[in-house]
């Protein structure tokens, strides 16, 4: 039967004595010489371990026909050298036995993700993801939906045979209602297994895809339509127009227990009522270039992006600048989220780094921050820092009463607690630790922003411990605070914090620090 | 010039310097800054960033990009790494290089986001199916997050195998000075890749070998390359080990606490030393045996219920008593706590 020859080229019984010279095109009526073979197929299937002249597909299997139609289209469009074929897990896992193109075999269901990685790496190549219905519509549902939704410029050929072929006939998401399989022995029952999944329709609800069509390998007329659809899908990719998807209703005579002719009839009579043949999408969206709503990332030199080139006027921070009077200082800063606790820590290590010290900053992160409290650990050291985690700080900056009470006991004896509050709570005691209350919030408020309370505390910390130079603090603030009015407030806050400690010392409320030897 | 940087961000900056231009990932605390930095930086240097629909998709995008011959990476934490295991097995099986960062958090299940080192077995022993190895590096500082990332790309390409940066929430989240050289690496050409060119048309990247003999041969080849790595790649750092009587062993954030512990112990006259594995696979067993042969006791400290300690015991094979101290749940032992552990175990408690 001439009809058979269309399918026969990839049939196992057909020896591949094809000479590439023979024009493999299907005639207008869909008929073709049996022995022609597209040069997009290998002459001999060397990757097979035996029977290298024939495919591993069963007689009458739709995969063979689809392979042939793809090969033919690739040849006609001159795409063979540019093509990368991503084969799935399923009966077509060995597509690379046949296609003389670049081949990548991917995990079950993940071909659209793998194809995404390939295509994004080779944007001007032709990337084909080839999948069965178990692969695409069950285990790989997420991958196909999202590849389509991103508008990946790949082509997906979806071979829907309503069954798991490779594993021996289990139910697929596309198995028809009432259709028996080894895992739906009484026939698919919607009450138990739900209804067949319509992938073409589902994907057509998305905005990005350029082309979605369902075709069937049921008869010559429909095979011709399939041929056109496959070619069109590849043309769309060639033109960079977007995501193209062809669902192909395809016979699996072996599992269906039918001969090839019956199986093709079954595709037409049983499958097409559930899976109507249609073009569900055919437009070439202007994606993504040309969309005015999109911001295009600027292209910058690597060193700029990574912050490697020192900006003009930047400080050389590779060597110590000051004669620091300590080996190391460990500071814990704690308070509420929004009080600038983490930022204060970052400013301190920026200063430390500029003064040539080793520094580390370790934040509390995640839900703890969401629930309101935040803290960070700051180490400044002349030597390599061991643990960035501080169990016993030399200085605790407590931005609220909760933190004061929670962390005071950790402070080393002889250490300092700087507390954001005019007066220390009456019942609070911390033996062997010097506690200084600083009305930082009030001071900051008067200066114009309560938010600057952390900078008031920074001023107090610098004055009290003399661990870093106030000049460094100013230059860091100048670099980091972009808004001029805020910078002015921060400058004043820094000075106010320092002055407060100074005055306290004069009235004898605070002893001068003995440094961190 | 030094710049302040988070560990998670340092990974991304270093990847760009290593010539990596492809990142596929999915957010998870405490690794999200990796994806965020990649989203910010990669597109500005002509690279690709995609937030995948899941870690399953992400690792398979990595697979595709690696197959196309580009340097590619992803990053996540425990739950995400669990989802990536199938893909990592495929990557190893198809001999595809990539760099995967695991910023470990508390487990099992959803656990919490605080630091743990409980993915050691999964990453070092291979969490996916089949006979394969990951190359695993264990940075302990922001600078090392960068340096190890660059090294990981080289090792991944050299052995055509996934390389893992195994670190924890603290190293990922903390900020330290980072020094990067303005010296971008030109990734090596990969003639085996599938690039959609006439020269690479005959290439096939696959992990399926239907014939038993074929698969055995493939695995023997992989084994041979793993043996080569075992010879050439183990790395470790020794601190104060010359005269050490007690050897503390730990990696990542724990090694930082251990360094402070060693210094504190030495002030008290206890001759302690630190052995810090930098490669977790291949494990620096030879160096460990040499170092430990002179000590009375080895104490392994981990943020786990005892995972790396198995490799220490395997290496030392009963020659030196090996003890273990672990904290889990996100708790990190303090210097005082570890000092106490050592003193008690050395029967020198004060
Ligand atoms: C993670 C995983 N689960 C299960 C399998 C087993 N498996 C191999 S092929 C297949 C079904 C393939 O069916 P389909 O996609 O419809 O392709 P067909 O064989 O019918 O062409 C399954 C379940 C696997 N390889 N990997
Ligand atoms: S089992 Fe079905 S799908 Fe698989 S090769 Fe045979 S006919 Fe084709």
Mind giving me the DSSP string for B225-293?
Answer: HHHHHHHH---EEEES-TT-SEEEE--THHHHHHHHHHHHHHHTT--EEEEEESEEES--HHHHHHHHT
Question: Is residue A404 domain-resident?
Answer: yes
The CA dihedral of A487, A490, A496, A498, to the nearest 10 degrees, is -110
Inter-chain touch B182–A127, beta carbons under 8 Å: no
Phi/psi for B302 (5° steps) reads -145, 160
Using the mean position of ligand 2's atoms as its centre, give its distance from the Cα of residue A62 in Å: 8
Residue A350, ligand 1, Cβ within 6 A? no
Residues of B within 8 A of A359 (CB-CB) are 4, 176-177
DSSP assignments along A199-245, one per residue = HHHHHTTSSS-SEEEEEE-SSHHHHHHHHHHHHHHHHHHHTT---EE
Using the mean position of ligand 2's atoms as its centre, give its distance from the Cα of residue A23 in Å: 28
Number of H helices, E strands in chain B: 12, 15
Question: Is residue A425 domain-resident?
Answer: yes
Longest dimension (CA), chain A: 111
- Six token digits for residue A192: 């138990």
- Six token digits for residue A73: 């289209």
Q: Angle formed by the axes of helices A470-480 and A453-465, to 10°? A: 160
| C-beta of residue B303 within 8 angstroms of C-beta of residue B111 | no
Residues of A within 8 A of B24 (CB-CB) are 116-117
- Which chain B residue's Cα is nearest to A391? B334
Residue A26's pLDDT is: 42
- Six token digits for residue A138: 């069950």
Domains of chain B: 2-232 (3.40.50.970), 236-349 (3.40.50.920)
Sorting pLDDT into bands at 50, 70 and 90, what band is B298? very high
Shared domain check, A339 and A225: no
Characterize B38-68 residue by residue with b for buried, 16 or more Cβ atoms within 10 angstroms of its Cβ, and e for exposed: bbebbbbbebbbbbbbbbbbbbbbbbbbbbb
Shared domain check, A418 and A272: no
CATH number where A432 lies = 3.40.920.10
| C-beta of residue A391 within 8 angstroms of C-beta of residue B327 | no
* Residue B154 clears pLDDT 70, i.e. is over it: yes
Inter-chain touch B201–A106, beta carbons under 8 Å: no
The model's pLDDT over B228-238, given as tens digits with 9 standing for 90+, comes to 999 999 999 99
Of A162, A300, A223, the C-alpha closest to A32 is A223
CA distance A434 to A419: 11
Inter-chain touch B196–A82, beta carbons under 8 Å: yes
| C-beta of residue B311 within 8 angstroms of C-beta of residue B283 | yes
- Residues with Cβ within 8 Å of B315's Cβ and at least 6 positions away in sequence, in order, are B283, B285, B288, B289
* Residue B315 clears pLDDT 60, i.e. is over it: yes
Quick one: average pLDDT of B93-106?
98
Shared domain check, A159 and A68: yes
Residue A508's pLDDT is: 56
From the list B30, B54, B182, the residue facing A303 with the nearest CB is: B182
Inter-chain touch B256–A114, beta carbons under 8 Å: no
CA distance B326 to B172: 20
Residues of A within 8 A of B197 (CB-CB) are 81-82, 102
**In angstroms, what separates the C-alpha of A220 from chain B's closest C-alpha?**
32
Boundary-marking domain end, from A282, A317, A334 = A282
Instruction: Tell me: cis bond preceding B108? Omega within 30 of 0 counts.
Output: yes
CA distance B17 to A366: 29
Inter-chain touch A365–B29, beta carbons under 8 Å: yes
| C-beta of residue A185 within 8 angstroms of C-beta of residue A278 | no
Residue A135, ligand 1, Cβ within 6 A? yes
Longest dimension (CA), chain B: 74
Atom of ligand 1 nearest to the CA of A161: 20
From the list A102, A299, A353, the residue facing B194 with the nearest CB is: A102
CA distance A227 to A221: 10
> Among A302-316, A441-455, B257-271, B302-316, which is the least confidently predicted range?
A302-316
Closest C-alpha to ligand 1, atom 22: A167
Q: How far is the CA of A438 from the CAs of A164, A330, A424, A502, B106, in angstroms?
A: 73, 20, 9, 12, 38
Inter-chain touch B257–A81, beta carbons under 8 Å: no
Residues of B within 8 A of A43 (CB-CB) are none
CATH number where A161 lies = 3.40.50.970
**In angstroms, what separates the C-alpha of B107 from chain A's closest C-alpha?**
16
Shared domain check, A245 and A347: no
3-class state of residue B2 by DSSP: strand
Residue A24's pLDDT is: 39
CA distance A418 to B322: 44
Q: How far is the CA of A492 from the CAs of A16, A243, A354, A466, B302, in angstroms?
A: 87, 58, 22, 19, 47
Shared domain check, A434 and A374: yes
Number of H helices, E strands in chain A: 19, 15
Of B91, B94, B113, the C-alpha closest to B104 is B113
Inter-chain touch B194–A150, beta carbons under 8 Å: no
B13 touches chain A (CB under 8 A): yes
Nearest-5° angle of CA A252, CA A255, CA A256? 75
Question: Is residue A26 domain-resident?
Answer: no
- Six token digits for residue A94: 């060995």
**In angstroms, what separates the C-alpha of B49 from chain A's closest C-alpha?**
9
Boundary-marking domain end, from A224, A248, A282 = A282
Residue A367's pLDDT is: 54
Shared domain check, A213 and A67: yes
Inter-chain touch A387–B173, beta carbons under 8 Å: no
DSSP assignments along B162-175, one per residue = EEEEEEEHHHHH-E
From the list A114, A120, A142, the residue facing B54 with the nearest CB is: A142
- Among B14, B73, B130, B175, the residue to mutate for chain A (most A Cβ within 10 A): B175
Atom of ligand 1 nearest to the CA of A252: 20
- Among B61, B97, B203, the residue to mutate for chain A (most A Cβ within 10 A): B61
CA distance B96 to B205: 8
Of A174, A160, A255, the C-alpha closest to A215 is A160
CA distance B305 to B191: 44
Chain centre distance of CA B38: 19
Question: Is residue A295 domain-resident?
Answer: no
B87 touches chain A (CB under 8 A): yes
| C-beta of residue A132 within 8 angstroms of C-beta of residue A221 | no
Shared domain check, A375 and A240: no
CB atoms within 10 A of CB A291: 9
CB atoms within 10 A of CB B350: 7
Mean pLDDT over each residue of chain B, to the nearest integer: 97
The model's pLDDT over B282-294, given as tens digits with 9 standing for 90+, comes to 999 999 999 999 9
Of B56, B64, B57, the C-alpha closest to A114 is B64
Shared domain check, A210 and A63: yes
Question: Is residue A151 domain-resident?
Answer: yes
**In angstroms, what separates the C-alpha of A186 from chain B's closest C-alpha?**
33
Inter-chain touch A116–B64, beta carbons under 8 Å: yes
| C-beta of residue B161 within 8 angstroms of C-beta of residue B92 | yes
From the list B58, B205, B259, the residue facing A386 with the nearest CB is: B259
3-class state of residue A291 by DSSP: coil
Number of A–B residue contacts, CB under 8 Å:
242
Residue A402's pLDDT is: 95
Q: Given ligand 1 and candidates A165, A174, A247, A252, which is best to mutate, with the most ligand atoms within 8 Å of its CB?
A: A165
Question: Is residue A290 domain-resident?
Answer: no
Of B144, B42, B9, B69, the C-alpha closest to A302 is B42
The model's pLDDT over B179-216, given as tens digits with 9 standing for 90+, comes to 999 999 999 999 999 999 999 999 999 999 999 999 99
Establish whether this prediction's ipTM goes over 0.90: yes
Residue A35's pLDDT is: 47
Inter-chain touch B29–A306, beta carbons under 8 Å: no
Q: Given ligand 2 and candidates A7, A54, A58, A264, which is best to mutate, with the most ligand atoms within 8 Å of its CB?
A: A58
**In angstroms, what separates the C-alpha of B220 from chain A's closest C-alpha?**
19
Quick one: average pLDDT of B89-106?
98
Question: Is residue A409 domain-resident?
Answer: yes
CB atoms within 10 A of CB A290: 8
* Residue B348 clears pLDDT 80, i.e. is over it: no
Q: Which residues line ligand 2 (CB under 6 A)?
A: A 57-58, 61, 63, 91, 161, 165, 252-255
| C-beta of residue A279 within 8 angstroms of C-beta of residue A246 | no
Instruction: For residue B5, give the H/E element and its range.
Output: strand B2-6
Shared domain check, A336 and A370: yes
Residues of A within 8 A of B61 (CB-CB) are 113-114, 116-117, 120
The tens-digit pLDDT sequence of chain A (517 residues) is 333 333 333 443 333 333 333 343 444 444 443 446 899 999 999 999 889 889 999 999 999 999 999 999 999 999 999 999 999 999 999 999 999 999 999 999 999 999 999 999 999 999 999 999 999 999 999 999 999 999 999 999 999 999 999 999 999 999 999 999 999 999 999 999 999 999 999 999 999 999 999 999 999 999 999 999 999 999 999 999 999 999 999 999 999 999 999 999 999 999 999 999 999 999 976 655 555 677 899 999 999 999 996 655 556 666 666 678 888 999 999 999 889 999 999 999 999 999 999 999 999 886 545 558 899 999 999 999 999 999 999 999 999 999 999 999 999 999 999 999 999 999 999 989 999 999 999 999 999 999 999 999 999 999 999 999 999 999 999 999 999 999 999 999 999 999 999 998 776 554 444 444 3
Nearest-5° angle of CA B283, CA B138, CA B250? 70
Residue B1's pLDDT is: 85
Domain count, chain A: 2
- Among A78, A102, A345, the residue to mutate for chain B (most B Cβ within 10 A): A102
**Ligand with an atom nearest the CA of residue B60:** 1
From the list A82, A113, A353, the residue facing B60 with the nearest CB is: A113
From the list A106, A126, A150, the residue facing B63 with the nearest CB is: A106
Shared domain check, A311 and A276: no
Instruction: Tell me: cis bond preceding B236? Omega within 30 of 0 counts.
Output: no
From the list B67, B253, B334, the residue facing A118 with the nearest CB is: B67
Residues of B within 8 A of A127 (CB-CB) are 196
* Residue A196 structural domain: 59-282
Shared domain check, A346 and A213: no
| C-beta of residue A9 within 8 angstroms of C-beta of residue A68 | yes
Question: Is residue A24 domain-resident?
Answer: no
**Which DSSP symbol is given to A452?**
G
Phi/psi for B296 (5° steps) reads -90, -30
Q: Given ligand 1 and candidates A132, A159, A171, which is best to mutate, with the most ligand atoms within 8 Å of its CB?
A: A132
Shared domain check, A346 and A207: no
Of A374, A338, A341, the C-alpha closest to A454 is A341
Using the mean position of ligand 1's atoms as its centre, give its distance from the Cα of residue B7 in Å: 40
CA distance A174 to A244: 20
Characterize A263-272 residue by residue with b for buried, 16 or more Cβ atoms within 10 angstroms of its Cβ, and e for exposed: bbebbbebbe
CA distance A250 to A252: 7
Inter-chain touch A96–B204, beta carbons under 8 Å: yes
CA distance B179 to B176: 10
Boundary-marking domain end, from A267, A282, A297 = A282
């Amino acid at each position: 039967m001439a009809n058979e020859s269309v399918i026969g080229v990839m049939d196992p019984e057909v020896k591949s004595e094809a000479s590439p010279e023979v024009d493999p095109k299907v005639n207008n009526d869909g008929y073709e010489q049996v022995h022609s073979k597209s040069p997009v197929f290998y002459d001999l299937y060397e990757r097979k371990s035996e029977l290298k002249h024939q495919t591993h597909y069963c007689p009458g299997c739709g995969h063979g026909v689809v392979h042939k139609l793809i090969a033919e289209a690739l040849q006609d469009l001159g795409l063979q050298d540019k093509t990368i074929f991503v084969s799935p897990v399923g009966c077509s896992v060995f597509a690379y036995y046949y296609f003389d193109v670049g081949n990548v075999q991917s995990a079950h269901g993940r071909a659209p993700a793998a194809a995404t990685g390939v295509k994004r790496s080779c944007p001007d190549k032709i990337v084909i993801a080839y999948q069965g219905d178990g692969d695409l519509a069950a285990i790989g549902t997420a991958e196909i939906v999202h590849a389509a939704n991103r508008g990946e410029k790949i082509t997906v050929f979806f071979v829907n045979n309503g069954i798991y072929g490779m594993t021996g006939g289990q139910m697929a998401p596309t198995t028809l209602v009432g259709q028996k399989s080894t895992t739906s022995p009484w026939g698919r029952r919607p009450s138990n297994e739900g209804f067949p999944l319509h992938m073409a329709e589902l994907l057509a609800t998305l905005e990005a895809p350029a082309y979605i069509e369902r075709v069937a390998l049921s008869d010559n007329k429909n095979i011709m339509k399939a041929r056109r659809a496959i070619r069109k899908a590849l043309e769309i990719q060639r033109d960079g127009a977007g995501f193209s998807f062809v669902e192909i209703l395809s016979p699996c005579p072996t599992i269906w227990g039918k001969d090839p002719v019956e199986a093709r009839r079954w595709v037409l009579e049983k499958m097409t009522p559930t899976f109507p043949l249609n073009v569900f999408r055919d437009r070439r969206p202007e994606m993504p270039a040309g969309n005015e709503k999109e911001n295009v990332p600027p292209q910058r030199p690597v060193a700029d992006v990574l912050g490697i080139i020192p900006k003009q006027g930047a400080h050389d921070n590779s060597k110590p600048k000051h004669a620091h009077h300590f080996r190391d200082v460990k500071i814990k800063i704690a308070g509420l989220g929004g009080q600038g606790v983490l930022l204060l820590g970052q400013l301190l290590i920026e200063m430390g780094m500029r003064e040539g010290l080793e520094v580390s900053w370790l934040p509390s992160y995640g839900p703890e921050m969401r629930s309101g409290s935040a803290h960070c650990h700051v180490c400044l050291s002349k030597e390599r820092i061991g643990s960035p985690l501080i169990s016993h700080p030399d200085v605790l900056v407590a931005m609220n009463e909760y933190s004061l009470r929670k962390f005071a006991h950790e402070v080393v004896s002889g250490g300092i607690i700087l507390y954001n509050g005019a007066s220390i709570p009456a019942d609070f005691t911390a033996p062997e630790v010097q506690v200084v209350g600083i009305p930082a919030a009030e001071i900051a408020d008067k200066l114009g922003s309560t938010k600057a309370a952390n900078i008031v505390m920074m001023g107090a910390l610098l004055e009290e411990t003399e661990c870093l130079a106030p000049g460094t603090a100013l230059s860091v603030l100048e670099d980091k605070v972009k808004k001029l009015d805020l910078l002015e407030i921060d400058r004043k806050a820094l000075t106010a914090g320092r002055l407060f400690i100074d005055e306290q010392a004069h009235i004898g409320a605070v002893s001068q620090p003995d440094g961190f030897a | 010039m030094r710049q302040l940087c988070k560990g998670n961000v340092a990974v991304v900056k270093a990847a760009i310097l290593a010539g990596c231009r492809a990142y596929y990932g999915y957010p998870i605390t405490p690794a999200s800054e990796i994806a965020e930095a990649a989203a910010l930086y990669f597109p500005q240097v002509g690279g690709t960033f995609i937030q995948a629909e899941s870690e399953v998709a992400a690792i398979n995008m990595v697979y595709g990009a690696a197959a196309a011959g580009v340097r590619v990476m992803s990053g996540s934490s425990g739950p995400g790494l669990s989802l990536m295991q199938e893909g990592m097995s495929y990557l190893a099986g198809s001999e595809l290089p990539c760099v995967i960062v695991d910023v470990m958090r508390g487990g099992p299940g959803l656990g919490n986001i605080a630091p743990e080192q409980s993915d050691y077995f999964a990453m070092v022993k291979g969490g996916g199916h089949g006979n394969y190895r990951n190359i695993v590096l264990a940075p302990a500082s922001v600078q090392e997050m960068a340096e190890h990332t660059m090294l990981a790309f080289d090792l991944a390409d050299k052995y055509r195998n996934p390389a893992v940066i195994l670190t924890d929430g603290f190293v990922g989240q903390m900020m330290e000075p980072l020094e990067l050289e303005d010296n971008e690496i030109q990734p090596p050409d990969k003639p085996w890749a599938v690039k959609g060119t006439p020269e690479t048309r005959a290439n096939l990247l696959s992990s399926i070998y239907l014939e038993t003999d074929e698969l055995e041969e493939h695995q023997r080849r992989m084994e041979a390359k793993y043996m080569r790595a075992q010879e050439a790649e183990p790395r470790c750092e020794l601190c104060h080990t010359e005269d050490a009587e007690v050897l503390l062993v730990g990696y990542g954030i724990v090694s930082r606490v251990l360094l402070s512990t060693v210094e504190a112990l030495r002030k008290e006259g206890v001759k302690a030393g630190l052995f810090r594995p930098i490669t977790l696979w291949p494990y620096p067993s030879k160096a460990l045996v040499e170092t430990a042969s002179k000590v009375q006791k080895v104490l392994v400290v981990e943020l786990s219920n005892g995972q790396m300690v198995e490799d220490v015991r395997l290496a030392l094979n009963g020659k030196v008593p090996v003890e273990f101290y672990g904290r889990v749940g996100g708790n990190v032992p303090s210097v005082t706590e570890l000092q106490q552990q050592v003193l008690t175990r050395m029967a020198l408690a004060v």
